[in-house]
Structure 1
């Protein structure tokens, strides 16, 4: 097919909070590039190379210059400093060197769960790609960390003892978030002071991102205010409060941030409900 005959589609992309928006014109997106460098792995990036024939990338909104940059040895990463969504990347090594890459997960019209072909691209990071001082106790089974090492979480039980979930809601799909749900006494977190938190929707949950590299290591559960249960009949209130207390005891972690873990070997419960109800602010 010649360039003249090529059928192009206009896609609309944005960070979750909507401060950064863009349009992408490209052939129909049916596959994504996966890079094996540490930063791409921890952020779960699905890349589209804008150097592909017929592809154009145009920024349509950038409130408060909301994108911040983080340079690893392999990637110059740009993510929203308010909601943590990764938008673009430039690799400094490997076959994608110098090419502007766009995170497919940010596109409204694409469901990553339905991409038919994901092409692995092995682009090993240099040894200095991660400058992390691991702080791990004897009882820890897994260490979860951001890329720069300022934020870490120790999981004190084997991940195989816990349920692992992934969905494609508007927030999780942009963060590539895969959740595991230990209780607070099963987790030790270091570096909370180095995070910014993004709360969305009804603000019952918040995702904590490293201020420096943007990796989401853990989430926080806040739940609804207790006053919402006041009008419930006593028997129902007791049941609902039991669930509430159970949820409030959780300390969710992002599985992608766990070091040395082969995600492909996990049994992940995936829910394909999409982004229904997600509305961008004006």
Structure 2
């Protein structure tokens, strides 16, 4: 039997693997259950012919279980990339599913999609975690409040915003955003309140202008912290450039998928085909 081989890795490269499938990857499974929606999983269809870890160790990955604890969701504890799930505890690779977002050479935007209504059919029913912190400080009375959280509830947010179908919502396919399923809105810091920041891990790479923050417990990416250039570079920028960039430093990019009762398919999402040019593993 001919096998089609692919390589994959988390963003930081701490965990890398090879997989083989009976057919080339042209389609995927999308589930709308609570965990799949919040993580933005894109699952392979059909069993794997082979799975081999080539760098790192599976037992060093973060593991998140909930409900009846029959499924182990695994993620990199350094960069937060959602990697795979196992449906039993016997390490049977035929019960292993890979998140295609982290597989090299797979354009997840171009895949044929098979949808599964896990929200209605999978137990237990997910109950949203209530936001109990102080609300955003912005005073604009024309805005409404959205709340949301990571899956386990250790990190929770409140967003004060115009209706999401009236504001800018963006998605791109750069190396980190495709892995994190980043479809984001861009509130200012006065329009968002976050509790449980201490329960996040921050991942920085490259120029380290942006920190990508995910829940330590469940691995769900939640938001980004924008730092911009370091002080010694900032001070050398022309004044006009500083003034142009300054408003961006107050933005808090937030993943729409973590918000409760928001149907992303109903929003007008601006896609930027940035690609992964320049992304290289050490």
- TM-score normalised according to structure 2 size: 0.87
* TM-aligned CA deviation for residue 199 of structure 1: 0.7
Query: Which of residues 214, 226, 233 is equivalent to 2:219?
Result: 214
CA RMSD across the alignment:
2.2
Say if 1:146 and 1:215, in contact at 8 Å, map to a contact too. yes
2: CA distance between counterparts of 1:199 and 1:49? 32
Matched, 1:70 2:64: yes
Matched, 1:135 2:121: no
Matched, 1:150 2:130: no
Q: Which residue does the alignment assign to 1:84? A: 80
2: CA distance between counterparts of 1:28 and 1:194? 39
Q: Which residue does the alignment assign to 1:10? A: 5
Q: What is the CA deviation profile of residues 67-94 of structure 1, one whole-angstrom value per residue up to 9, with x for unaligned ones?
A: 11100227420000110011111357xx
Q: Which residue does the alignment assign to 1:126? A: 123
* TM-aligned CA deviation for residue 230 of structure 1: 4.0
* TM-aligned CA deviation for residue 268 of structure 1: 0.7
- TM-score normalised according to structure 1 size: 0.87
Runs of at least 5 residues in structure 2 that lack an aligned partner in the other structure = 89-93, 137-142
Aligned residues: 264
Say if 2:131 and 2:157, in contact at 8 Å, map to a contact too. no
* TM-aligned CA deviation for residue 30 of structure 1: 0.7
2: CA distance between counterparts of 1:208 and 1:146? 11
Say if 2:185 and 2:253, in contact at 8 Å, map to a contact too. yes
Q: Which residue does the alignment assign to 1:42? A: 38
Q: Which residue does the alignment assign to 1:251? A: 252
Q: What is the CA deviation profile of residues 8-37 of structure 1, one whole-angstrom value per residue up to 9, with x for unaligned ones?
A: 321110000100000011221111111121
* TM-aligned CA deviation for residue 140 of structure 1: 5.4
Bigger Cα displacement from structure 2, 38-47 vs 64-73: 64-73
Say if 2:34 and 2:126, in contact at 8 Å, map to a contact too. yes
1: CA distance between counterparts of 2:261 and 2:85? 23
Q: What is the CA deviation profile of residues 184-210 of structure 1, one whole-angstrom value per residue up to 9, with x for unaligned ones?
A: 000011110111111111100011111
